[in-house]
Structure 1
Amino acid sequence: MDAFDQLHPGVQYHLANTLRWNGLRPTQAAAVEPVLASSDAVVLAPTAGGKTEAAMFPLLSRMATEDWQGLSVLYVCPLRALLNNLQPRIDGYCRWLGRSAAVWHGDVSQAQRQKILIERPDVLLTTPESLEAMLVSTKVDPRVLFSGLHAVVVDEIHAFAGDDRGWHLLAVLERLSRVAARPLQRIGLSATVGNPDELLSWLQGSFHSRTSTVVAPAVETPAAPEITVDYVGSLTNAATVIASLHAGEKRLVFVDSRRQAEELGAALREAGIETYISHSSLSAAERRRSEAAFADARDTVIVATSTLELGIDVGDLDRVIQINSTRTVASFLQRLGRTGRRPDSSRNCLFLCLDDEAVLLASGMLQRWSRGWVEPVTPPPHPRHIAAQQLLALCLQQHRIGATEWSTWWGDLPVFDSSAPEILEFLLAEGYFETDGPFLHIGPEAERRFGRRYFSDLTAVFTAPPEFIVLAGRVEVGTIGTDLLTENVDGPRLLLLGGRSWKVTHVDWERRRCFVDPVDGGGKAKWSGVPGGLSYEVTRGMREVLLGSAPGVTFTTRAVNVLADLRSSYSDSVSADRLVVRLPDDSTGRWWTWAGTKANRTLQASLPAVVDPRQRIDEKSVRLLPGVSVQELSSALADVQWRSPNVDTNALRGLKFSSALPEALAKETLSARLGDVANAAIVMAESRAVFR
């Protein structure tokens, strides 16, 4: 039977008469049968390929045919803005069948939440953190709200699976399955995944015996995108180039940081370009204003961090511009996919590199992309801190848990491993739990650590640095870190936020409020944050480019000259058939591994006799100890004992809930995430050319 004919007649009618579609797209057609059959699935399609509809049309058909009642489908997204963007569309589809869809996240008012609890929409769009908050809330009865739950759609699943939010989501879904008293159909949506079968198995959690399908039909190969790499030397020059190109077009510019977004936005406005800004430290209202204004405009620029990498609709884009380079192929593909959606347009991306190393990174990343490689999505190992969080959250949800029966809530989900008894013993010993016969209750230490605003700190698995809310009158502009408020300044303290300058008039340190008035210019932007390292594959792509490989994209004359200089400057550090090791007689040596940041950390930890322990590890090389001989190096490599990178106690602050783990176990958890034994072993096995 044709896929269209398998859908509920009401859905068929509106597809033909409301949307005026003459059929389904390939991905949508391929998803109908497995979703109707209640299979778990990962649905892959290019950006704007209709993945939301691929999940929702057959789920709505099941809802009508099987007479699901109450809240029956959860639609989970990584970003609130994406939820807000999708809700009207999904609600419109629901209305075809007399159903409804609502959104629930941190910006939704108490009145709206109360309405949801009373009327119970058929589809609820939300985040993992809000699901956790609902489960532990005293104002929500999970067994009533989720009694009719049958299916969960996880949009942008790759954005979850690569970090601890994914483990948290899976653990929450396991608890929801027990609350609803049935396995939940799980459907993941993504545009860019290098290992879909493994991702689908991960998504199933402890319900891996359920049938599952990867939906990834062959689609028409789009025309080759227009990719250009340019070297501009500074953010000021980048603003000049952007202002002079593509007049009359809508341009989305991605930057590395919030500070760059603010500085570039201000420079473009000074150049007379209608400019909007989007990043995580702007208030939700401010971001929505920018995105809505940008969606309706034509000759304009929006400058964004990764907040607009995912599928938030800002209208039809003409151009994507990348300042410097993305660190992954997957991120590049997400951003490239924002263009070329109109029939008369093509996919495109212009890289404006601010320094030589950015040209090298862009070239290496594009070299991997040109070979068809995309990063596999790999969940971080040993999420023991999430196990501790889940034990506490379950106790809040159930008000008490059985000291020997708690494990039934998660089955064999890998969040819990052989360390679980040690974690539970620690929570008891430190007062996070108190015992009452065979039961555990929340203890005073959990109250002290996480109890603020009814344990709101326990619902989010990421740690954010303390920030101050910036208020212009009663209007929230966004947030800033403490750095700009504590550094010494001459004259008034000026901030740059939302692309505008503000003068600080008052700081309420206790309530973390910063009051400002607008000024004409001179503001500064500054946030804490350290960029992540580079992978083995992308770093090897950089090496191949230095050895003469070309990724098959356009390089401007300026970029060609920079690339020639790079090849010359690195000529002593790369060799076509072996790795280069330099052992100067009178100073430290360097082993040019081109192995990626994690593998180099592993080499440093595992070779203490020859690799300098006091160095900032990068992706290209490791510094050897002074005076290391060829014989000492060979002997150390032959006798290597693999060790995980060392972890400083202060680093544990970035691992949320690490305080709920024994310190040794917390360090072991973080250490395992910092290294890469597999690729370090590849490097160890490669031939080496040793020079003095």
Structure 2
Amino acid sequence: MVCLRRVSDRSSAIYARHTNTLPVTSAYSRLHPALREVIVSTLRWDEFRAVQEASLRSFAEGSDLVILAPTAGGKTESGFIPALDDLLKAGTDGVGILYLSPLKALINDQIDRISRIAAPLALLVSAWHGDIGRSDRAWREGEAPHILLTTPESLEVLLTDPIRRDDLKNLRSVIIDEVHAFITTDRGVHLRCLLDRLDRVADRRVRRIGLSATIGNPDQLLAWLSDPSRPQSLVRAPSSPSGRRFSFTLESDEDERIRSVSRAVAGKKALVFVGSRTGAERIHAGLSGRISPVFVHHSAISSDLRHEAEERMAGHGSACIICTSTLELGIDIGGLDLVIQFGPPDSVASFLQRLGRTGRRGSPSEMAFILASEDDALVAAAALEAAREHEAESLYPPALPCHVFVQQLFLLLRAGRAVGRRPLIEAVRRLTPFEGISESDCDQILDHLLANGYLVMDGDLVAIGPTAERELSKSHWIALCSVISGGNGYRAVTPDGQVVGTLDPCFIEVAAVEGFTLAGRGWRVISRDDARRGLLVVPSDRQGPRPFWTGGGTPGLSLLLAQSVGRIAERGGSDLPLPQEIRDAIAKAIYSWPEGIGPGRVTVISEPLVEGTLVSVWTFLGDRPNATVTHLLRHLLPPRWPVQYDAYAVSVTVPPGEDGRQTVYDALLHCSTLKKEDLVDWMPILPPETWAFGRLLPEEIRRKMAAVDIFAIPGILAALKGLRPL
């Protein structure tokens, strides 16, 4: 590519004037001269961070990379500088670097940052996603950008276009931002398929660079991103020398807690993290009139309104956003003075991500906990203890992503290839995420698709059937480009086309009569379309009811956080230098807990009730795993024995005159001897809509998927091996 070579020639002479500005390390000296000029003249760096040096060395050795660094830890440049150096030296045309993000907002945030480096190198940077107008994201044949920022779903659209796909043939590097946010999800399965397919488009190994926050199993994350046959390297940023400051408010009255928030954020830039969209709206309403400006930010609010809040936060002066996990990822909202955790976090990783939003440029990270109860204080201390030990949740990909298998099967057929039944199955199974799906499961899926008209046999070849044509072919088969489960919410839109947000169907009757308040603004519904799940709304001076959402709740306390609570219970308190009020609250929270309980084992304990016995199974497995244990016990125990759970234990209420402790123990012991296949039918049947393309799968396959990837039966069986004898 001529422009690259001209940049190289021009920059060599200019660079000579700056050779003493940045220390000439071996990694730096090997960089393309034009890139060295940009680092010195544009970025004005006087040294590389350690993580950037390490990334350059590992990339030069041919490795795929996972770069672990906190927010503002230099991850973006650590990934892009090696990739840019490689692109400049290769001098190829077409898209040379592909940046993939889980969030469109993160793409919008990063494009200026990346363009600042790329523009002096005569490299064109472009973004492509659904919020960008078609004319702005299109390019003419032969004029593809050198660096393309997109999402997995938009990349799928590109790969279905022959011209755009050809522009990816010279691709050299893929950079995946916030890669840890992908690995456990259906989108991560889709992403991993796309990486394999990009190698096929390029007909060679395209380098992969993952940018990640700290997780508990980074080696497995690297193995998932890369491949056993490829060189791999894990690059960690050294721990920040800046300190951490924490404060605590314990108050049972919510109005008082909201007043505490208003006092803490006054005159500051602050994020207030809460556990739900409903809670965010409620707290935002409570703060309105007490502080200004204050915004709310969550997934049910339109991207335009969220962006408005982000821009205000990034500007000058004080500002506050009440948010859910939508602001955990690395969207740059400027320097923050304070993060408030309203209630305890539900995972250590989430706590670390939120804490990392402050403390930039060497200043201490600062978080204020606003807590409602002794139990909240216990969980907050557990998060702090786990973070002190440098622990974070381990993340694993879905084991049986059969619904994504179906998506990839149809995409292969849509490419126009005539494929026989066995070659079709083998072609899809060669994609890395599907190695765990057995041939018999593949055959069962294909038989189901054929029986229901989604596929047909054309002689010896498999073809797309009439049912698929009817259900999936709208808008050029756009449904095949995403594995995000379709929500059933109502989208609220103004007459001029502005999207306000999404409302839960259970709230629609209230909204239609009384209007609603979303993100601090009043709206009146002037018409509704139940078939298309749409609302036409106009601004209103009246503040109507705040919406509630019945779905999309958090997964509850994580396994790691529950285990950290178990360690506190085992030793009888936290060993952190906490305020006395918080230490007393923790002691009160665990005062009635029995002796002998703790993480890493399952302990069955009984205690008398006024009528009958309460049998407690102490697991410290977290909310979701304990929900599965509850399902197992309900299957085995008499129906008149109520079974309930929390993050730490499963409780069984036993009627008078029965030996509940022995019965519960025997039931758990029996479960521990079984295989996961034996327990599939014990779990509740989940609706097909649980998964994208779920309705295209037979019920037996959906049951298997739920048992392994939702109810986590293999992990439960492993935990029950730690059942302590009575």
Question: Do both share a fold (TM > 0.5)?
Answer: yes
CA contact (8 A) 1:574 1:580 kept: no
Q: 1:541 aligns to what?
A: 564
Q: Take 2:591 and 2:109, find their aligned partners in 1: how far apart are those partners? A: 49
Counterpart residue type for residue 685 of structure 2: T
Match of 2:701 among 652, 665, 680: 665
Cα–Cα, structure 1 residues 69 and 551, in superposed 2: closer, same or farther, change >3 Å?
A: farther
TM-score by length of 1: 0.91
CA offset digits 1:99-155 (Å, max 9, x no partner): 111111111111123236662101111111111222235xx5354232211221111
SS of residue paired to 1:260: helix
Higher RCO (Cα < 8 Å, 6 or more apart) = 1
Cα–Cα, structure 1 residues 410 and 371, in superposed 2: closer, same or farther, change >3 Å?
A: same
Q: 1:31 aligns to what?
A: 55
- With 569-578 and 16-25 compared, the bigger mean Cα shift is at 569-578
Structural RMSD (CA):
2.7
Matched, 1:269 2:288: yes
Matched, 1:685 2:685: no
Q: 1:74 aligns to what?
A: 98
Matched, 1:208 2:208: no
Q: Take 1:166 and 1:116, find their aligned partners in 2: how far apart are those partners? A: 30
Q: 1:628 aligns to what?
A: 659
Q: 1:145 aligns to what?
A: 167
CA offset digits 1:25-64 (Å, max 9, x no partner): 1111111122234321111122211111111111111111
CA contact (8 A) 1:135 1:397 kept: no
SS of residue paired to 1:64: helix
Q: 1:159 aligns to what?
A: 181
Please report how far the alpha carbon of residue 333 of structure 1 lies from its aligned counterpart in structure 2 after TM superposition.
0.9
Matched, 1:320 2:339: yes
Alignment of 1:383-402 (within 5 A): 383-398=401-416, 400-402=418-420
Matched, 1:287 2:306: yes
Match of 1:675 among 712, 716, 723: 712
Counterpart residue type for residue 125 of structure 1: L
Q: 1:593 aligns to what?
A: 619
Count residues with an aligned counterpart: 680
SS of residue paired to 1:244: helix
Matched, 1:563 2:589: no
CA contact (8 A) 1:591 1:623 kept: yes
Alignment of 1:70-109 (within 5 A): 70-109=94-133
Please report how far the alpha carbon of residue 358 of structure 1 lies from its aligned counterpart in structure 2 after TM superposition.
2.8
Cα–Cα, structure 1 residues 555 and 461, in superposed 2: closer, same or farther, change >3 Å?
A: farther
Alignment of 1:205-244 (within 5 A): 207-216=227-236, 219-244=238-263
Q: 1:43 aligns to what?
A: 67
CA offset digits 1:180-227 (Å, max 9, x no partner): 2222111111121221211111112xx43111111125x254233112
Q: 1:310 aligns to what?
A: 329
Note the residue ranges of structure 2 that are not aligned, 5 or more in a row: 1-24
Counterpart residue type for residue 628 of structure 1: D
Q: 1:440 aligns to what?
A: 462
Counterpart residue type for residue 407 of structure 2: Q
Q: Take 2:104 and 2:665, find their aligned partners in 1: how far apart are those partners? A: 54
Q: 1:378 aligns to what?
A: 396
Q: Take 2:556 and 2:476, find their aligned partners in 1: how far apart are those partners? A: 36
TM-score by length of 2: 0.87
Match of 2:529 among 497, 508, 522: 508
Matched, 1:579 2:603: yes
- With 168-177 and 353-362 compared, the bigger mean Cα shift is at 353-362
CA offset digits 1:526-551 (Å, max 9, x no partner): 11223213333321222333442316
Q: Report sequence identity in percent.
A: 32
- With 29-38 and 327-336 compared, the bigger mean Cα shift is at 29-38
SS of residue paired to 2:249: strand
Alignment of 1:418-433 (within 5 A): 418=438, 419-433=441-455
Q: 1:131 aligns to what?
A: 155
CA contact (8 A) 1:505 1:517 kept: no
Q: Take 1:402 and 1:133, find their aligned partners in 2: how far apart are those partners? A: 25
Cα–Cα, structure 1 residues 662 and 683, in superposed 2: closer, same or farther, change >3 Å?
A: closer
- With 270-279 and 153-162 compared, the bigger mean Cα shift is at 270-279
CA contact (8 A) 2:271 2:339 kept: yes
- With 662-671 and 440-449 compared, the bigger mean Cα shift is at 440-449
SS of residue paired to 1:96: helix
Q: Take 1:212 and 1:448, find their aligned partners in 2: how far apart are those partners? A: 44
Q: Take 2:121 and 2:318, find their aligned partners in 1: how far apart are those partners? A: 40
CA contact (8 A) 2:567 2:598 kept: no
Q: Take 1:176 and 1:425, find their aligned partners in 2: how far apart are those partners? A: 29
CA contact (8 A) 1:282 1:478 kept: yes
Counterpart residue type for residue 210 of structure 1: R
Q: Take 2:466 and 2:133, find their aligned partners in 1: how far apart are those partners? A: 30
SS of residue paired to 1:338: coil
- With 405-414 and 473-482 compared, the bigger mean Cα shift is at 405-414
Q: Take 1:307 and 1:7, find their aligned partners in 2: how far apart are those partners? A: 37
Q: 1:169 aligns to what?
A: 191
Matched, 1:16 2:6: no
Cα–Cα, structure 1 residues 634 and 301, in superposed 2: closer, same or farther, change >3 Å?
A: closer
CA contact (8 A) 2:516 2:543 kept: no
Q: Take 2:157 and 2:347, find their aligned partners in 1: how far apart are those partners? A: 32
Alignment of 1:44-63 (within 5 A): 44-63=68-87
CA offset digits 1:208-252 (Å, max 9, x no partner): 3111111125x2542331123332335433321111124321101
Q: Take 2:376 and 2:141, find their aligned partners in 1: how far apart are those partners? A: 50
